[in-house]
Amino acid sequence: LTQSWQSIPHVSHFEEAEIAKIEKQRKELNEISAIKITPLAYIIKATSLAIEQFPLMNSSLIDDGKLMLKKYINIGVAVNTDQGLVVPVIKDVYNLKIGQIAEKILEISIKARDKKLMKDDITGSTFTISSLGGIGGTGFSPIINPPEVGIIGVSRAKNVVKIENGNFIETTILPFSLSYDHRVINGVDAGNFMKFIKDILEKGL
C-alpha cells in the first residue's frame, strides 16, 4: 500500500446516499433470514451493478500503459483482524443475490478472523470495498489496492431529519467515498459512477 500511495495519483470523490428504502427492506429480510444482512451486502451489490455500467472501474493498468478490462466482477472486502488488515474476495458478485452476498461476507469474515483463509480466498479481486461503518467517522480516503484502479470507502450511516413538503421526516444517510487512479479514471467518470451507486441505494434493489 505504501508503494500504491507513492506511485498512483489518488483522487477522492465523496458522496452521500439516502438509504431509508433499503434499510426498511433489509430489516424485513432479517426477520426471515437465517443470515444477518448488513448494509455492506447492498453496497457490494450496488457497486457490482455500477461496475457493469462503467467497465473502466474493473480494469488494471499493465505494462506500457495498456489497460486490461476484466469480464468478471470480483470484489475484495477489507476485514480487520488481530493480525492486521486482510482483503478476502467475493467472486462473481454480479450474479449473486443480496442474501447470497450476506452469506459470503459472513463466511470470509469468519475465515479471516480464524486465520483460515486460503490463497484462492484472497486473490482475483478486481475492485475493493473498505467499510468503517462499525467504527464511525464521516468519511475517509482509502488507498487503492493494486493492480485495481478504484476502491470505495464506507463510513457509518447516520439518522437525520429533512423537510419534505413542509413536514419533518427522519431518514438515514450513508456517506461513502471513492479513491481512484487518475491515470485511468477521470473526474466525470468517477462522479457518474458514484451517482449510479447513489441512485441504486436510494431507489432500492
β-pairing verdict for 150-154 and 127-131: parallel
Helix or strand holding residue 153 (H, E): strand 150-154
Q: Which residues pair with 76 in a beta bridge?
A: 89, 128
From 162, 182, 183, 203, active-site residue: 182
**Is 182 a catalytic site residue?**
yes
Q: Give the separation between CA 88 and CA 148, rounded to whole angstroms.
A: 15
CA angle 196, 200, 204 (to 5 degrees): 175
Residue where the block lists cell 447516520: 158
Active site residues: 182
